[in-house]
Amino acid sequence: MDAARSPRIPALALVPVWVLTRLGMLYLLVQDGIGVRNVNDEVEFLYPRWALQLADGSFPVDDVTWQYPPGAGLLFLSPELLPFLDYFAAFLVLTFAADALVALALARPGRRPAGVWLWTAGLPLLLNVPHGRFDIQVTALAVLALLSSRRNPRLGGALAALGALVKVWPLLTLLGLERGRTGRDAWRSAAVTAAALLAVLALAFRHSFDFLQQQGARGVQIESLGGTVLGLMRASGAPIGIESRYGALEFSGPQVGTVAQLSLLLTAAAFGWLMFWRGRASRWTEATPFDAALAAVLLFTVTSRVISPQYMVWLLGLAAVCLTSRCTTQRPVAWVLLAATGVTALAFPTYYLEVMQGTALGNTLMVVRNGLLLTAALLSCHRLWRETTAPAYPAAEADSASRADPAVPACTAPLAGADLSRQSAADQM
């Protein structure tokens, strides 16, 4: 039964599942008895320290752990909105509220329930990690940007810009918008929003752009794809060590610089492919911006020098948005990401000591998890390319579904207002 005609059925089942899973995640977070390191360290010690500095009118100075755009400062100050709670409790309340907001946005009538179920059931696979970081809030901005961009591209652009000023990746949610007025409106809104907020933050706080120094000096983290290669080399006897740098564990040794440079080259190549795809894409459905955002973030994740477990929160949120549409090409990708999420929880926090020591178990977990992420990225790009550039667009399964149910709109036609044949070359973006 389609979600558009029976929105109450999935909603009624969803509420107790969401509540029970989040209570379990809260219990794990408060107990924090999993793994070799305290998952609460950031919320209990690091974030409050940053908040004190920000309240004094300055971003953290000479702090190698501060690696975020200036918009993140507002997020770390947000627990002050609940003065009747201590910082830890207030942060958790706001994080769970953002989690619920994502679920509500995904569950709105007219959207397929697979998306909200992926978010509700997939996030607990990460155990106590998601709510001990601020990535749920960033993902909420990206999810809302994607879901609002079709009907209100200016709002979508503004939300994407807000997310990008906390962590850069939400800007990729605008990449798949159809060429023409919709895309231009969204990008203009994003530029205006970003410029205005940056100006306010630069005036209100000192050292607003110090984070750039820390980002440029990052090495190869042990959980990244390049780190997996170095970990296998280390296991084979190569003189490669591990150091705690910039708030993470990174490899050290003569081969690390080469792997880091290769990662940067692959990131540049990924950006080039995305621009090439955008130039070649000839048709858009309602799901194309969703699918393109997931493909783009996957590409930048697997080519990055750093992959942290909370990155899976981003990918689950974007995959959930894809599954809200019948026209998506990313259903198989979502299943691969679910598997990668489960393996991620085994690598961190459950068996993180094994990963740190480079044991057979630790290396196996990293090979499997990063292999799944690489598979998801390649599969995502392949399906996006095939269904947006091939002459026989769009997806066969979406067409067959629409023929089986006449009430479901077909995915064969471009979106309303996206008649590309009538746009002049000057309108192309």
pLDDT value of position 164: 96
Q: List the alpha helices (DSSP H) in 205-255.
A: 211-216, 225-235
Task: List the one residue out of 264, 380, 267 whose CA is nearest residue 322.
Answer: 380
Q: Is 390 left (phi over 0), alpha (psi -120 to 50) or beta?
A: beta
- Other Cβ atoms within 10 Å of 47 Cβ, number: 21
* The one-letter amino acid at 263: S
The tens digit of pLDDT for each residue in 385-416 reads 999 996 644 444 444 444 444 434 457 544 44
For 371-381, give one letter per residue: b (16+ CB within 10 A) or e. Answer: ebbbbbbbbbb
pLDDT value of position 69: 92
Residues of the chain with pLDDT under 70: 1-11, 32-38, 213-217, 390-410, 412-429
Q: What number of helices (H) and strands (E) belong to the chain?
A: 18, 2
pLDDT value of position 36: 44
The C-alpha R_g of the chain, in whole angstroms, comes to 22
Distance CA 114, CA 326 (A): 10
Instruction: Give 243's strand partners.
Output: 250
Instruction: Give 252's strand partners.
Output: 241
Put simply, whether the predicted model's pTM sits higher than 0.85 gets the answer: yes
Give the torsion sign (CA, 128, 132, 133, 139): positive
Residue matched to tokens 């990293």: 366
pLDDT value of position 161: 97
For 55-88, give one letter per residue: b (16+ CB within 10 A) or e. Answer: eeeebbeebeebbbbbbbbbbbebbeeeeeeebb
pLDDT value of position 416: 40
pLDDT value of position 346: 95
Contact assessment for residue 303 and residue 225, using Cβ atoms and an 8 Å cutoff: yes
pLDDT value of position 33: 52
pLDDT value of position 258: 94
Distances (CA, A) of 13 to 284, 335, 389: 33, 21, 39
At 186, list the tokens: 């969204």
Distance CA 212, CA 69 (A): 8
At 118, list the tokens: 């992926």
pLDDT value of position 40: 74
Residue matched to tokens 């070799």: 36
pLDDT value of position 30: 84
The tens digit of pLDDT for each residue in 76-94 reads 999 999 999 999 999 999 9
pLDDT value of position 62: 80
Contact assessment for residue 92 and residue 308, using Cβ atoms and an 8 Å cutoff: no
Distance CA 328, CA 397 (A): 10
Q: Is 127 left (phi over 0), alpha (psi -120 to 50) or beta?
A: left
pLDDT value of position 290: 98
Q: How many CA atoms lie within 13 A of 263 on its CB side?
A: 25
